[in-house]
Amino acid sequence: MIIFLQLIAVSFSLVMIYFAVLHYQRGELEKIEIVSWVTIWLAVILMAIFPDFARKFSDEVLLTRLFDLMVVGGFVLVISMTARSYLKTKKMEKKLEEYVRKEALKNVKKSS
């Protein structure tokens, strides 16, 4: 059972690394981003293959089960990513609004 779960975790992480590299090659991710993503997924692979090492770490930070550590880590990751994409969307919205409004007002400036 554990080996089956480990296989799923490793396979999923490898697929995610593949997608990260693909997006990097398409120029959609920057160097720092691809390095971060690959590091995250490699860490997941390591944790899946060597659960004892991660278990020791979870004991150190007073989390009794390895699963708890992964859930907390997952939450931190998801929340930070959501916050980041929210800010990016807001910024893009603002830029788009400025551009569209500037375009619309172009002719008014000319005629006045």
List interacting residues with another protein (CB under 8 A).
93, 96-97, 100-101, 103-105, 107-109, 111-112
Considering beta carbons, is residue 8 or 100 the nearer one to another protein? 100
Q: Is 34 in contact with 21 (CB distance < 8 Å)?
A: yes
Please, what is the minimum distance in Å from the beta carbon of residue 27 to another protein? 25
Considering beta carbons, is residue 81 or 105 the nearer one to another protein? 105
Considering beta carbons, is residue 26 or 110 the nearer one to another protein? 110
Please, what is the minimum distance in Å from the beta carbon of residue 111 to another protein? 8
Q: How far apart are CA 69 and CA 17, in angstroms?
A: 22
The DSSP output letter for 75 is H
Instruction: Tokens for 2, please give them.
Output: 């554990």
Half-sphere exposure of 83 (CA within 13 A, CB side): 6
Q: How far apart are CA 54 and CA 61, in angstroms?
A: 11
Please, what is the minimum distance in Å from the beta carbon of residue 93 to another protein? 7
Considering beta carbons, is residue 84 or 106 the nearer one to another protein? 106
The DSSP output letter for 64 is S
